Amino acid sequence: MIKVIGIIGGSGVYELTNKAEACTEKTVKTDYGDVKVSILDICSKKVAFIPRHASGHSIPPHKINYRANIDALKNIGVTKIVATNSVGSMNEEMPPGSFVIPDDFLDFSQNRVKTFYEDKVVHIDVTEPYCQGLRDVLAKSGDVILGGTYVCTEGPRFETPAEIRMFKMLGGDLVGMTGLPEVTLAREREICYNSICIVSNFASGISQDELTIDEVFEIVAEKEADLLELIYNFIKNVDDGMDCSCNHALDGAEV
């Protein structure tokens, strides 16, 4: 099977197809639903692109079919995934406009199906939940901040100042609504996964301004050229055939 690089685009990230050398659309069937995937030729590599919120930003965070998206990418041969996630910052060293590559998470999402394994016992290791190999490639592909703890909330509302104070006390740096269970589902499917977190604002209580979705889209639009360059450089630099411990995550995990 041809090795394929997967890109999952978050809020406002829909333009990846513009610079592709070739682009075809296909519907991939999974046990969890059908998924529309764009198959692109970029830098002489095969790239599968999924806009997480669908066209027109029509699917809210808590309604995304995370299992179908990850399974569709697995079914077409994806071995490496980089996702983009718009986030608020709780860390003044990660200001709006920054690109942060997280290395840990806290999961406060509530009503999402978080595993492919509901009929048997599988315990995957998440000592390093985000692929270190992909982090190294991203580090040399653009101006990024390495490391940070991503806090995932259920949404679709923004967080309260009290919640942000709690998350900071627990060690959180960034807060968003879409990072989980995406990262752990990718691990269950033995796919390398990492995220480019685009900081759109300081979180509630840190910023004195009212939070709106408009500022998320504004920052993404402002940083679009830099983000696309980072993604294209990543595609160019990554070894799509590189073996990694992520690709063997089920070894010793099944009871």
pLDDT at 1: 55
Mean pLDDT value across residues 53-73: 89
For residue 16 the two structure tokens come to: 């990846």
SS3 call for 187? helix
pLDDT at 26: 93
| Domain residue extents for the chain | 4-239
Whole-structure pTM value: 0.94
pLDDT at 215: 73
Q: How confident is the model at residue 211 (pLDDT cuts 50, 70, 90)?
A: low
Listed in sequence order, the DSSP H helices in 3-156 are 66-75, 132-139
Kindly state the percentage of the chain with pLDDT values over 70: 91
Tell whether domain 4-239 is in CATH 3.40.50.1580.
Answer: yes
**DSSP of 201-239, one letter per residue?**
EEPBTTB-SPP-HHHHHHHHHHHHHHHHHHHHHHHHHS-
pLDDT digits (tens, 9 = 90+) for 73-115: 999 999 999 999 999 999 999 999 999 999 999 999 999 999 9
pLDDT digits (tens, 9 = 90+) for 231-255: 999 999 999 888 999 999 999 888 6
**Nearest CA among 217, 187, 205, 195 for reference residue 145:** 195
